[in-house]
Chain A
């Protein structure tokens, strides 16, 4: 009974590598490309720069991984970041406490996420429609509140608050910014949740086949609510970090197109867009890849207006490749 598990043959291994770890391959290819375009690419300052840029969207992408693995989608994340960071600054200026602001951001995100989840699970709304409506509501409310002007952190809090995004610690002489630490720690945490907890297994089960999941005793509606809730919570965290990075939140443009970046990260990371399959490490690399591509394009003097076209193209290519892979199985 010990030797029941056959060793993979070399051919199997190669197949498996392509099928399940394709995001590693694309990541390595992209690194080679990046280094060849920009010889300074591998300098520590550039690496941490990419991590800091990735952190805000990357953290949300972890939640989006859950949502998509459960067979849903959330396109309200960008607008959530806008309303959370904007109102967060209002709270900060009023209380002068970055931790009260922190609590407020998490709470607001969780509430918005729960509403999304309730609409989908209890109201039987398609996630695309529910979160589209939520996106519109959040963006409109924060625009109304801001009346065109930005939400600016008051001078009293300026120096302490900016340290969240700009601060760093030194380990063995390497400067490691806080956002980089946050992104990595969250990624590890979510990796463990998805791989090794009941919640993770249930999320995949619901995304794979909600009927089977229900008949195995999984609380399908509960799982649907919780994935949106967690994504909202992460939007809260990310909104807090975003506010610190920009210090002045413009209601109309804050978090703009984040949903595209986040969904693109999940797609490049190999998560199945129909649910049931995916890995957090894929999303982690996917989020980084997205910024690396941006980085390369900036080097190549591609206008920033074209970013949207490029992220759209990335999603299309990534998902088409997934479909090809699934067919060849």
Chain B
């Protein structure tokens, strides 16, 4: 099967996630799709797998133009997408998940469990994994769930399997088994699109590379013709705008505003660091490194043990979000839509929400004061709107994020936690947010940026803590922050080396 995508464009509001991409997959090809986070890889694949339609462009299968209207439709045409986030129903059994919406029936119309289970076992055998098809998915380990997702794709006749970072949850052994299966299917004419950040894997399994940057296709060709260094350079590109941030001065003062000691929680352990006034500290780590929960715990939204000294007054385990807020900690949370904004509320109310909780001492809310608060933040953060009484959803993602930031400035937070602050924000506004972060540090705020994006960390951070499996694996100063070093420490490569050596 020959799949051609021509001139594909996809916009999310003002953000052009995919910008006129041409993409071709032939039978029996394994394609590596590379790009930084937010480059548009997943969006492009979602278009191909029918998750949403493109805004422009056409898709051809064997020279015939097709409209892929939904995921089921794509499956019928032989395209399977294994998503990065595991999308299994936790309360159902393994075989029920695998056959969801494609159940095998007996002649009398009832489910043919025996047949489904035996087919599951066959596939698992081929993958050399030991998972009970009757087990409830909730009882499986993350790696096993990932394998079930893969089994679901392998079980049915299909021509193209798209895998979005399948190896993050898998151990080395399992990855190699996966590669064996891929090679075998390849000889049967099945094609793969493999999205990954891990260069060694890509070079091992893929034939052809496509590299995306900021929604555009920057290069494609054969892996045999390039090396890892070249691939990395193509992926990162020479960001001209970077230069602005290259010589960022260090605004840190001697005064320690936040001292974290023996800080542990559900998925992070024994974290220690000091944060100074005016310092920007980045904390990074792969998915599952405990980064997310650490961010929440520092804000009091997750349980923790250990101590947290804020300007010499100690916050104890069991402190609430309000306690943390009153000590001057504010957080711009990750996943803005789900955890940051209030869709139904006006821009005014969104900006004042934290203020109401910590500093509001009156009985009635005065519209004039709400307006003053808004105008102050609009000026400071250049929020682009002319109708602040409108719902916050009338703003672009970047401006929404500024409103959330303004929320904490109005609550007089001195320690600002930014958790994945530029998620889903267009490139131009991203830079604006970086400038704001640096400007806030200059004004004496202490800042922690939680991020997985190297360019982001590279631009703003004075120092970077790299987490691996919930522990601090390295603490890098500004000169030591490179894409290589971040990848090296966040994949735990240094620790594995010691073990093997």
Interface residues of A (CB under 8 A from B): 1, 4-6, 192, 195-198, 201-202, 204-205, 207-209, 211-219, 272, 275-277
Contacts and interface: CB of A to CB of B under 8 A. Distances in A.
A135 B271 CA distance: 50
B386 A6 contact: yes
B388 to A, nearest CB: 7
A13 to B, nearest CB: 12
Contact of B364 (A197, A205, A275): A197
B35 interface: no
Interface stretch (B70-78, B139-147, B340-348, B431-439): B340-348
Nearest to A211: B339
A4 B356 CA distance: 24
B322 A205 contact: no
Given A202-B356, A205-B349, A212 B344 contact: no
A6 B387 contact: yes
Nearest to B344: A276
B407 A198 contact: no
B379 interface: yes
Contact of B388 (A5, A202, A212): A5
A223 to B, nearest CB: 12
Contact of A216 (B338, B357, B360, B379): B357
B353 A216 contact: yes
B363 interface: yes
B301 A214 contact: yes
What 8 A-B pairs are tightest by C-beta distance, nearest first? A276-B344, A217-B357, A6-B386, A208-B344, A208-B342, A216-B353, A277-B344, A198-B356
Contacts of A211: 338-339
A217 B386 contact: no
Nearest to A2: B375
A275 B387 CA distance: 23
B354 interface: yes
A202 B356 CA distance: 9
B353 A208 contact: no
Interface string B376-416: 00110000001110000000000000000001000100000
B123 interface: no
B334 to A, nearest CB: 10
Contacts, number: 87
B340 A272 contact: no
Given A1-B379, A214-B301, A209 B341 contact: yes
Interface string B55-88: 0000000000000000000000000000000000
A212 B341 contact: yes
Contacts of B356: 198, 201-202
A276 B352 CA distance: 16
Interface of B: 299, 301, 321-322, 325, 331, 333, 338-345, 349, 352-354, 356-358, 360, 363-365, 375, 378-379, 386-388, 407, 411
A205 B342 contact: yes
A6 B387 CA distance: 6
A196 B338 CA distance: 26
Contacts of B321: 214-215, 217
A276 B343 contact: yes
Nearest to A217: B357
B342 A197 contact: no
6 contacts: A201-B365, A211-B339, A212-B339, A217-B358, A272-B344, A276-B342
Contact of A198 (B325, B339, B365): B365
A1 B363 CA distance: 29
Contacts of A204: 342, 344-345, 349
Contact of A215 (B340, B363, B375): B340
B420 to A, nearest CB: 13
A216 B411 CA distance: 10
A85 to B, nearest CB: 32
A198 B354 CA distance: 11
Nearest to A272: B344
B491 to A, nearest CB: 30
A192 B378 CA distance: 27
Given A6-B386, A196-B365, A219-B322, A212 B340 contact: yes
A202 B365 CA distance: 12
Given A208-B345, A276-B344, 17 more contacts: A1-B375, A192-B364, A196-B364, A196-B365, A201-B349, A204-B342, A205-B342, A205-B349, A209-B338, A211-B339, A212-B340, A212-B341, A215-B331, A217-B322, A217-B358, A219-B322, A272-B344
B364 A209 contact: no
Nearest to B333: A215
A209 B343 contact: yes
A149 B82 CA distance: 66
B301 A212 contact: no
B407 A216 contact: yes
A75 B322 CA distance: 32
Given A209-B338, A211-B339, A277-B344, A201 B386 contact: no
A198 B365 CA distance: 7
Contact of A5 (B325, B331, B354, B386): B386
Nearest to A277: B344
A219 B357 CA distance: 9
Contacts of B411: 217
Contacts of A197: 363-365
